[in-house]
């Protein structure tokens, strides 16, 4: 049975959601049955239908799951969705005079007007989550060709926004948006790079939400999900809890120190990863059972990592840096760490500044989990 879907621009809606432009044959069938031409109805902004708000957090999460897993539910969500736009991995944000605001979001109808006729929104966007904005608005992300400079200029001009490099962009938005922005970046990159089955090399097809890729070969039918690499990152304190140990890599800008971090090896626990990285990078032995997990967040590079932030203790008094990876290791007093935080709070983009004084010590800005660990450690000391 066909379903009734509302669009602001019926003719273009059919073009953008055309079955012939969808990757997955299942999605083609869903669109054909869900959106017959005769069922596309125009509406004014005052009569736009809206999704009913979920009664509670559990229902919201379950609806998110339905959108992710059910092609029909996902296609129904598109017309009421908001979109984050990326170009070459760069998110679209408000201009510099509008800092600490969410990414610049667009509506489905705005995308219809901005994009060429041959661009399928259904086929090139990925679902992220429902926004808790009163009506549980679906949030999608979409990438536009970075080579099309005319299109990028049009988007920036019409929306009064700008595409920014993902690293500094993370520190220009509120903390609650950084994970969504990095997750979207990783998911879109996965779609760009994952084209063929790892087993039989047949082409991969996607579901409507973009959260699953499947092998197109009937004899294989492998299913692939977005990969995430676990990382252990730790602030190392002495057993008296009066000093914190930070490291400096050669790739860091002059004056910047951060926490010990590294990827979890296959078969390792988080505790084992943290102990190994502390020994490798800083030359210290951690106290068994001293690890405290303070939190975690997603990081978009190199290909999407789950950063698990910890505090761990050591009895080692004289740390030693790894000679091929770490440039320096040093103890910081609470006062020194507080000064380093205040410096980066005043200038969050200090790490990208030119001609920095190497004697001015600072740490990663807000938005980086190292900053959260340092700030939490200082808060425990009421600093």
pLDDT score recorded for residue 204: 96
State whether 179 and 235 are in the same domain.
no
Q: Are 366 and 376 in contact (CB under 8 A)?
A: no
Structurally, the chain folds into a number of domains equal to 2
State whether 239 and 352 are in the same domain.
yes
Q: Are 292 and 214 in contact (CB under 8 A)?
A: no
Residue 221 CB partners (closer than 8 Å, separation 6+)? 214, 215
Q: Are 205 and 25 in contact (CB under 8 A)?
A: yes
In a domain? residue 192: no
* Cross-strand bridge partners of residue 332: 244
The Cα–Cα gap between 138 and 78 comes to: 8
Burial of 2 (0-12, 13-18, 19+ CB in 10 A): exposed
The Cα–Cα gap between 324 and 196 comes to: 36
In a domain? residue 284: yes
State whether 160 and 247 are in the same domain.
no
End-to-end CA distance of the chain: 63
State whether 176 and 300 are in the same domain.
no
The Cα–Cα gap between 349 and 355 comes to: 13
State whether 180 and 313 are in the same domain.
no
List, as one string, the DSSP characters of 345-373. HH-TTGGG-SS--TTS-B---TTSHHHHH
In a domain? residue 197: no
**Residue-by-residue pLDDT tens, the chain, 383 positions:** 333 333 344 333 433 343 333 444 443 333 333 333 333 333 333 333 334 455 588 899 999 999 999 999 999 999 999 999 999 999 999 987 556 789 999 999 999 999 987 678 998 999 999 997 667 899 999 999 999 999 999 999 999 999 999 888 888 888 889 889 999 999 999 999 999 999 999 999 999 999 999 999 999 989 999 999 999 999 999 999 999 999 999 999 999 999 999 999 999 999 999 999 999 999 999 999 999 999 999 988 777 899 999 999 999 999 999 988 899 999 999 999 999 999 999 988 788 888 788 889 999 998 899 999 999 999 998 87
State whether 258 and 374 are in the same domain.
yes
The Cα–Cα gap between 193 and 220 comes to: 20
pLDDT score recorded for residue 100: 76
State whether 183 and 234 are in the same domain.
no
Q: How far is CA 341 from CA 97, 128, 264, 380, in A?
A: 23, 32, 28, 15
In a domain? residue 218: no
Show the 3-state SS of 198-220: CCCCCEEEECCCCCCEEECCCCC
State whether 135 and 37 are in the same domain.
yes
Q: How far is CA 8 from CA 30, 44, 76, 130, 238, in A?
A: 21, 7, 14, 21, 62
pLDDT score recorded for residue 322: 92
State whether 102 and 247 are in the same domain.
no
The Cα–Cα gap between 264 and 277 comes to: 9
pTM to 2 decimals?
Answer: 0.78
pLDDT score recorded for residue 57: 84
3-class SS of residue 323: coil
Range of the domain at 39: 5-187
């Amino acid at each position: 049975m066909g379903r009734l879907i509302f669009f602001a621009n019926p003719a273009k809606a059919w073009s953008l959601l055309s079955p012939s432009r969808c990757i997955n044959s299942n999605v083609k069938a869903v669109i054909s049955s869900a959106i017959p031409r005769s069922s596309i109805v125009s509406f004014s902004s005052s009569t736009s239908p809206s999704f009913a708000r979920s009664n509670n957090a559990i229902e919201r999460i379950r609806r998110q799951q339905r959108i992710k897993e059910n092609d029909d539910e996902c296609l129904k969500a598109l017309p009421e969705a908001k979109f984050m736009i990326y170009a070459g991995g760069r998110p679209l944000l408000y201009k510099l005079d509008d800092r600490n605001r969410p990414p610049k979001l667009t509506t489905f109808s705005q995308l219809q007007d901005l994009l060429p006729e041959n661009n399928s929104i259904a086929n090139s966007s990925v679902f992220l989550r429902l926004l808790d904005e009163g009506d549980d608005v679906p949030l999608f992300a979409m990438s536009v060709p970075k080579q099309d400079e005319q299109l990028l200029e049009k988007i920036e001009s019409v929306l009064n926004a700008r595409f920014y490099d993902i690293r500094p962009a993370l520190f220009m938005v509120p903390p609650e948006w950084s994970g969504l922005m990095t997750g979207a970046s990783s998911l879109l990159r996965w779609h760009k790079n994952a084209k063929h089955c790892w087993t039989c090399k047949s082409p991969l097809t996607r579901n409507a939400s973009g959260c699953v890729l499947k092998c197109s070969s009937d004899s294989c039918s492998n299913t692939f999900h977005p990969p995430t690499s676990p990382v252990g990152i730790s602030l190392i304190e002495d057993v008296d809890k009066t000093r914190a140990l930070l490291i400096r890599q050669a790739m860091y800008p002059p004056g910047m120190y951060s926490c010990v971090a590294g990827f979890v090896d296959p078969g390792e626990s988080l505790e084992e990863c943290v102990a190994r990285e502390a020994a490798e990078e800083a030359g210290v032995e951690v106290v068994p059972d001293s690890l405290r997990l303070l939190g975690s967040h997603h990081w978009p590079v190199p290909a999407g990592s789950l950063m698990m932030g910890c505090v761990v203790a050591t009895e080692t008094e004289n740390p030693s840096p790894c000679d091929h990876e770490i440039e320096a290791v040093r103890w910081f007093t609470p006062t020194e760490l507080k000064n380093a935080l205040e410096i980066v709070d005043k200038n969050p983009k200090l790490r990208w500044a030119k001609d920095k004084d190497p004697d001015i010590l600072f740490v990663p800005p807000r938005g980086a989990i190292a900053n959260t660990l340092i700030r939490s450690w200082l808060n425990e000391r009421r600093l």
